[in-house]
Amino acid sequence: MKIENVLFDCDSTLTTVEGIDELARWKGVHQEVVDLTDLAMDGRLDFTQALEKRLELIMPSKADLQRLAEIYLKNAVDGAEEVIRYLKSERVDVYVISGGFSPAVDVLAESLGIDRKNVFANTIRFDSKGDYAGFDRSLPTAQENGKALVAKQIPGRKMMVGDGISDAQVKPYVDLFVAFTGVKRRHAVLAEADVEIGYLRDLLSIVKGEFTAHKKRVKS
């Protein structure tokens, strides 16, 4: 099976950082944000409402996101640049589909050689002073199953690589869902995965057709 497109999550996949957690810690609202995330993950709070409430707590400024971009770059996952360079040399299209925030996600993607047009993330709005002024609710990534909404619009044979439940939701629309566990290992995600990898460079063997070397492995 020739993979034509590889779709990456960002946080805990291309970078070891969880952006919203970093932002929440800086603002002293980490636990409140975690509680809202849990409500959304449990289906007790609409995804867009949960995003809105978390952002209202954090109120990220343009400067905050610039700082986050620097942290993303300093904490890029080992092998990310090498893997993406190889994929592009093989004419595989590379995408980032993230629930994180531009411009931080954009900066990381650009540093890894990913075309800006292939980056899907949430857009934060700022006022003239660079302070938080809301977010773009119309984007798929601001909605429930947003990553799946993006993935189903990408033609050709696809692989999704990520660590979270929102990445697992993409599975019906891709040919292969790879759970990346090099940063975080979630059993609910592994239960949906076709393949588990602990090192991003293992993707190269999968793309080269050495799939049997990376059969799904799930530990209890």
Q: Note if 38 is an active site residue.
A: no
* Helices assigned H by DSSP within 119-214: 146-151, 165-168, 187-190, 202-207
Burial class of 184 by CB neighbour count within 10 A (0 to 12, 13 to 18, 19+): middle
Q: Note if 78 is an active site residue.
A: no
The two structure tokens encoding residue 216: 């799904």
**Cα separation, 93 vs 95, whole angstroms:** 7
Closest CA to 94 of 206, 213, 9: 9
**Cα separation, 74 vs 85, whole angstroms:** 19
Closest CA to 11 of 79, 101, 78, 94: 101
Mind telling me the catalytic residues?
9, 11
